[in-house]
Structure 1
Amino acid sequence: MALVALTLLSFGIGEASLGGTSIMVLVLAIALLKSHLVASHFMGLRRVARGWRLLMAGYLGLVISMIALAYLLGRA
């Protein structure tokens, strides 16, 4: 249910044509939370060694950071 609610929230933000840095941060935070939920529940990472979870969290953080950087550089 959380994934559906977060997806609908993201969709609502897109449909409302909201923009700006604060909205970008919100949407990326939602995407990070959704990806964490998918990794934990559907990929089964909550039952593996901590190192694997940290590796995935680092990867997700890197991807989100690169998207944010690309957005910010595009605005400059």
Structure 2
Amino acid sequence: MTTKKMFLRPCTWVYLFLLSLTFVTWFIGVNNLSGRAFAFTVLGFALIKGQLIGDYFMGLKQVAGPWRWVIFVWLLLIGSLITAAFWKTL
């Protein structure tokens, strides 16, 4: 029986992806990029990061049933409310 070892585990790839999203968010902030597109980009990154953290680092990817959807529904609700608030002000 041979097993092929992966170079990096999935959590490590997710962590590197989270770091890259954080870097892009930092870059947007440092360069004072503003406007609706940048605001929604940063919000989208935050929602994606929240879902990835829930799936990979809270262990909800393997969970069946409603527990996995709690994080998704919460992020969707909060993201929708923030989007509605930004849409009216920008």
Which category of TM-score, normalised to the shorter sequence, fits these structures?
0.7 to 0.9
Pick from 63, 66, 84: which aligns with 1:51? 66
Higher RCO (C-alpha 8 Å, min separation 6): 1
Number of matched residues?
75
Q: Mind listing any 5+ residue stretches in structure 1 that lack a counterpart?
A: none
| TM superposition score normalised by structure 2 | 0.75
Let me know the Cα RMSD of the aligned residues.
1.2
Q: Mind listing any 5+ residue stretches in structure 2 that lack a counterpart?
A: 1-15
Shift of 1:24: 1.2
In structure 1, what residue type is equivalent to 2:64?
A: A
Structure with greater helix percent: 1
Identity over aligned residues, as a percent?
Answer: 35
In structure 1, what residue type is equivalent to 2:77?
A: L
Q: Pick the structure with greater CA Rg.
A: 2
SS of aligned partner of 2:61:
helix
Runs of 4+ in 1 over 6 A off after TM superposition: none
| TM superposition score normalised by structure 1 | 0.87
